[in-house]
Homo-oligomer: A and B are copies of this chain.
């Protein structure tokens, strides 16, 4: 994994969190990259192995501060910084560098919506215009051509993959969508917060951010584009006693004569040939444990007992397809690597 002449020289900004570590896990198998800079403000001077002993065997550069990073030695960066910080950091990078940003900072194309949900004016509105929002399977060509890719949120990835094709096709009523999403706790990051303690998470569940979670406008942005008009959805996230995984149970009203079978066939056709999206056969239900550690998204479609309604269920690993895996998938596209490079591993079960 050491640098060689032809490799893409990478930096990871914000390498002390779970998404940074997950990138390192995946990149360790990438034949076309070298990791030449890792930043971590509080842990500068230390090693990745100090923070993440499971990665102690990798030959990696020391952690440095962003201010001490030598940009000339890099071709591209993954940005895993906290929200808001990111806008300032990225806007100061040499424009030569390609960027995949895992934060929320460039996901909302409308900066007014951003300001409303994030509580401050966007600090890099010009850059926002350049950013390409990248649920890979839904915007592959745009990602390929992009310099700055706004990597989608975990929940929005799991919600948009099944919903966008159906809204585009007019097969469901876009004004009657309920998204009940269930996430593992790694989505909350590695920061020491009481709410993420083992004792507060294990052996119990609850909903949070009810009708107020910041991923709602991101999902609505994608569905509004698909519908060609403003869409509002119910999005209700729940915290699960598990490390990884998001299951999105989506309740929809059929439109234009569609049936559950129609929906399934439409999705199967749309995602045929996709390496990471699998539409399951009738009566098979996705489970997060079947995608754990992989970049897969499984989708199941079911008829509801209530006439005229259907149920969509998607499963992803929030740290892979919901974050670092999709970031790498987008990176591969942006740099001309086969899209599946370093993402080939099978899910780990149990």
Residues of A within 8 A of B (CB): 18, 21, 24-25, 28-29, 52-58, 175, 178, 180, 182, 184-186, 190-194, 196-208, 210-212, 216, 232-236, 238, 240-245, 247, 249, 251, 278, 284-294, 296, 302-307, 309, 311, 313, 315, 344-350
Contact flag A211-B348 (CB < 8 Å), given A242-B202, A311-B236: no
Q: Are B232 and A306 in contact (CB under 8 A)?
A: yes
Q: How many Å lie between the Cα of A101 and that of B192 in the bound state?
A: 28
- Chain B contacts for A350, CB-based, 8 A: 18, 186, 199-200, 202-203, 243-244
- Chain B contacts for A294, CB-based, 8 A: 54
Residue on B nearest A283 in the bound complex, by CB:
B210
Q: Are A182 and B185 in contact (CB under 8 A)?
A: no
A-B contact pairs, 15 of them (CB 8 A): A52-B349, A54-B347, A57-B296, A57-B346, A178-B178, A182-B182, A190-B199, A197-B197, A203-B242, A203-B245, A205-B287, A208-B285, A232-B306, A234-B305, A241-B242
Q: Are B202 and A25 in contact (CB under 8 A)?
A: no
Contact flag A206-B346 (CB < 8 Å), given A178-B178, A216-B305: no
Looking at the complex, which one of B29, B289, B311 makes contact with A234 (CB distance below 8 Å)?
A: B311
Q: How many Å lie between the Cα of A182 and that of B292 in the bound state?
A: 20
Q: Are B233 and A306 in contact (CB under 8 A)?
A: yes
Q: How many Å lie between the Cα of A110 and that of B348 in the bound state?
A: 36
With A28-B345, A178-B180, A234-B306 given, name 7 new contacts (CB 8 A): A29-B344, A178-B178, A186-B350, A190-B197, A204-B288, A234-B309, A234-B311
- Chain B contacts for A24, CB-based, 8 A: 346
CB distance from A167 to the nearest CB of B (A): 15
Residue on B nearest A213 in the bound complex, by CB:
B305
Q: How many Å lie between the Cα of A244 and that of B234 in the bound state?
A: 27
- Chain B contacts for A349, CB-based, 8 A: 21, 25, 52, 54
